Chains A and B, each alone.
Chain A
Amino acid sequence: NAGVTQTPKFRVLKTGQSMTLLCAQDMNHEYMYWYRQDPGMGLRLIHYSVGEGTTAKGEVPDGYNVSRLKKQNFLLGLESAAPSQTSVYFCASTHPAGRGTDTQYFGPGTRLTVL
């Protein structure tokens, strides 16, 4: 049972390049989330998904797209990277409300630098 995994762990991009971050979970969770973490600002929600085939915008969605084609995977895409997207990205997953403690389980993070 690996929990939540993220690939890659590190990436350096040039402005304008594109990339996809992959999140996978093996806990059969319905809900999945993408956050970004910036110094002094905690974690902010980018996009989330409440089930296979569904996605929704979070607090800071601009410049990102997501897809949830399979229940266990949640992809975060940057179509045209900008320096403002330099951050650490975390994926998380959980069961729907009412099933357990609603605890979110986090992946180890992806450190992205955009030059």
Chain B
Amino acid sequence: GEDVEQSLFLSVREGDSSVINCTYTDSSSTYLYWYKQEPGAGLQLLTYIFSNMDMKQDQRLTVLLNKKDKHLSLRIADTQTGDSAIYFCAEIFSGGYNKLIFGAGTRLAVHP
């Protein structure tokens, strides 16, 4: 079945880079997403990558996609305290209707 896995916690020092990893199972997913959830808020789309790409860069964010290993990562450069949040990896379920399969979320804590 479809499954998306992420580590649950990551702690980094302010100014360092953060790398959040994700593995997925559906090799036919067209898009893979990273969503950010701040405390008490909804999910905000952070970035996405199309399945025929290996890398996407967007300011401080770099997404790497390894289709062979079904591995997705999100790198945040120069991590700031405002980056503290839960980050969800998601893939589109190939069964249609754009249904998303989410990982459990990685809680990123940024400390001085």
Contact = CB atoms under 8 A, between A and B. Distances in A.
Nearest to A93: B98
Given A43-B88, A103-B48, A105-B45, A50 B104 contact: no
Interface size bucket, A side?
20 to 34
Interface in A14-51: 31, 33, 40-45, 48, 50
Interface size bucket, B side?
20 to 34
A97 B42 contact: no
A33 B97 CA distance: 10
B97 A109 contact: no
Contacts of A90: 42-43
B98 A97 contact: yes
A58 interface: yes
Interface of B: 4, 8, 30-31, 33, 35, 41-45, 48, 50, 88, 92, 96-100, 102-105
